[in-house]
């Protein structure tokens, strides 16, 4: 019997939210639901299983079957900060479908949203009042991401390595169509082969959809497509990029959007 559900991302915040809830209510009947994009970093998969064992809940893995670029090819679109077909099809829809099939309106559904993003939690509750969404990390005592990382280590867990590399989140192997210039600069620095794969895939898609790209060049008060190749060439030639533009995907936490239904 499903008593509680955690939307489990393989990142540190969803672990901490599940751990806090289980500490108060127990892990019996808890299901940790993970939507696999097939491009997570290998260390995330390692953490996924170790974190589930640490919490004590049952791990449920959902796989739609396509990686992000295959989804974008099928949809004939390059995702960006405004359009996220990969998160929609690979995460939100499978999770929402599982939720409707296995949960009742009273079932606690745990989200790994932190207190400094409480506005996201409020939007989710407002959009879907029929579901019992909870965000334990939005409750006092508030803890930062640094605190959650330290907490995991005290539990004997090693958090996903991407946090130590400076990534704002540890999802999708550092690739995110809602990521900014700084996120992709981190991807190029730490995983150059991975970056080149996404660069090639974007170039292939541009042959189909035209002059579109994941990123935007907003210099001189204008907004123009900025390809991953162009970003890489700027970085390699020591040109200035927006080092504060991390961006990021709401992923599971955005799962009440219209596109899921």
Most distant CA atoms of the chain, gap in Å: 58
- Find tokens 């079957």 and name the residue: 65
Residue 157: its pLDDT value, please?
A: 98
Whether the per-residue pLDDT at 254 is higher than 70: the answer is no
Average predicted confidence (pLDDT) for the chain: 93
* Report field, pTM of the whole predicted structure over 0.85: yes
Q: Residue 58, SS3?
A: strand
Q: How far apart are CA 205 and CA 168, in angstroms?
A: 27
Half-sphere exposure in the Cβ direction for 46 (13 Å, CA): 10
- The number of residues making up the chain comes to 261
Query: What sign does the CA torsion over 42, 44, 47, 48 have?
Result: negative
Between strands 132-134 and 108-110, the pairing is: parallel
Do the beta carbons of residue 233 and residue 155 sit within 8 Å? no
pLDDT at residue 65 tops 80:
yes
Gap between the Cα atoms of 224 and 245, Å rounded:
16
Q: pLDDT tens digits for 1-44?
A: 899 999 999 999 999 999 999 999 999 999 999 999 999 999 99
């Amino acid at each position: 019997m499903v008593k509680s559900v955690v939307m489990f991302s393989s990142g540190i915040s969803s672990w901490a939210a599940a751990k806090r809830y289980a500490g108060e209510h127990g892990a019996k009947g808890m299901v940790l639901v993970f939507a696999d994009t097939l491009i997570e970093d290998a260390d995330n998969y390692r953490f996924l299983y170790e974190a589930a064992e640490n919490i004590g809940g049952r791990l449920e893995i959902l796989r739609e079957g396509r990686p992000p670029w295959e989804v974008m090819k099928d949809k004939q679109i390059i995702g960006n900060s405004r359009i996220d077909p990969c998160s929609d099809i690979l995460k939100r829809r499978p999770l929402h479908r599982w939720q409707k099939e296995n949960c009742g309106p009273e079932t606690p559904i745990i989200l790994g949203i932190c207190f400094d993003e409480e506005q996201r939690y409020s939007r989710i509750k407002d959009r879907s009042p029929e579901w019992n969404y909870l965000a334990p990390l939005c409750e006092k005592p508030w803890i930062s991401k640094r605190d959650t990382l330290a907490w995991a280590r005290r539990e004997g867990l090693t958090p996903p390595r991407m946090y130590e590399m400076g990534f704002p989140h540890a999802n999708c192997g550092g690739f995110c169509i809602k990521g900014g210039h700084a996120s992709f600069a981190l991807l190029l620095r730490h995983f150059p082969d991975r970056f080149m794969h996404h660069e090639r895939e974007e170039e292939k898609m541009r042959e189909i959809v035209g002059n579109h790209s994941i990123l935007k060049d907003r210099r001189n008060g204008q907004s123009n497509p900025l390809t991953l190749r162009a970003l890489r060439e700027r970085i390699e030639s020591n040109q200035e990029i927006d080092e504060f533009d991390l961006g990021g995907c709401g992923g599971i936490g955005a799962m009440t959007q219209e596109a899921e239904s």
